Structure 1
């Protein structure tokens, strides 16, 4: 059964400068049990919320199956970690998630390519291993809430 494993809404950019220097510390409350999604704007409280340059990529999703054991959203900086859904195959479609508060539709615009930071935050070889499996960048089409736990996917 598909599941939302983790949710992330980070108000800051932690990956800046050179990856060898390491990321800035995660702020308290970056991983959450529920996120509020706003149509055309993104995840409330996230660094990309309502940013014009990121409207077509304001919500990011990655599959747990793409990550090595133990890696999570803090390492890859995506908003939604899904299990049981091959998200990288969904470019050009609409992904609908319902975790109990009603459906939230996401227009899947393009792949989210990994960056050099993955070598530091996930581990050596991650940048190459995540090419083609780095998740997706989406535009939310609905207002709604998503919660960690079981999710209906369509």
Structure 2
């Protein structure tokens, strides 16, 4: 398993109607090291320390799911940064971590070498209609059920791209 990318988005750019252009500076920043703050989110991200987003301050997403969507849409590649998700993983079924009507979301630990950081998975990160304009026509529908999971960090620490360990007790 590996962390493919770490993205922080200082601006909430996808507001309004997808037929209008996104707000200025819509591209998230790919960071070489993300600082995770317990119960607050990722330093520099638009949801960091926002009361309304305490249980959904970090979004974990599967690069594998995006690859599947690209194949379904007949495209060679889709830009992961346009999903505006924070932690992009490869090699783990991220969407299985989300809460369902039958069970709570998983508490999982992610370690990229600087020490383990626990996250509480909460709800699925449902795609929005912006995905049809930012990724490709049909992406909104194709990402349903595999848009990632909204989480709350339970510990502080650092994450870096590269090999990682993800444990679900």
TM-score by length of 1: 0.93
Aligned to 2:38: 39
Greater alpha carbon shift after TM alignment, 96-105 vs 70-79: 70-79
User: How far has the Cα of 1:28 moved from its partner?
Assistant: 7.7
Q: Distance in 2 between matches of 1:81 and 1:49?
A: 18
Q: Distance in 1 between matches of 2:80 and 2:154?
A: 23
Q: Distance in 2 between matches of 1:15 and 1:27?
A: 8
TM-score by length of 2: 0.85
User: How far has the Cα of 1:24 moved from its partner?
Assistant: 3.2
How many pairs does the alignment contain?
153
Q: Does 1:83 find its partner at 2:90?
A: yes
Give RMSD over aligned pairs. 1.5
User: How far has the Cα of 1:36 moved from its partner?
Assistant: 0.4
* Runs of 4 or more consecutive aligned structure 1 residues displaced over 6 Å after TM superposition: none
Gapped regions of structure 2 (runs ≥ 5): 71-75, 99-104
Q: Distance in 1 between matches of 2:142 and 2:19?
A: 19
Which of 64, 76, 81 is the equivalent residue of 1:74? 81
Q: Distance in 2 between matches of 1:72 and 1:153?
A: 24
The structure having more radius of gyration, on CA atoms, is: 2
User: How far has the Cα of 1:72 moved from its partner?
Assistant: 3.6
Greater alpha carbon shift after TM alignment, 72-81 vs 106-115: 72-81
User: How far has the Cα of 1:74 moved from its partner?
Assistant: 2.1
Gapped regions of structure 1 (runs ≥ 5): none
Q: Could you report, residue by residue, the CA deviation over 1:66-86 in whole angstroms, capped at 9, with x for unpaired residues? A: 112532442111101100010
Q: Distance in 2 between matches of 1:70 and 1:23?
A: 21
Residue 70 to residue 54, structure 1, CA distance change in 2 (3 Å) = same
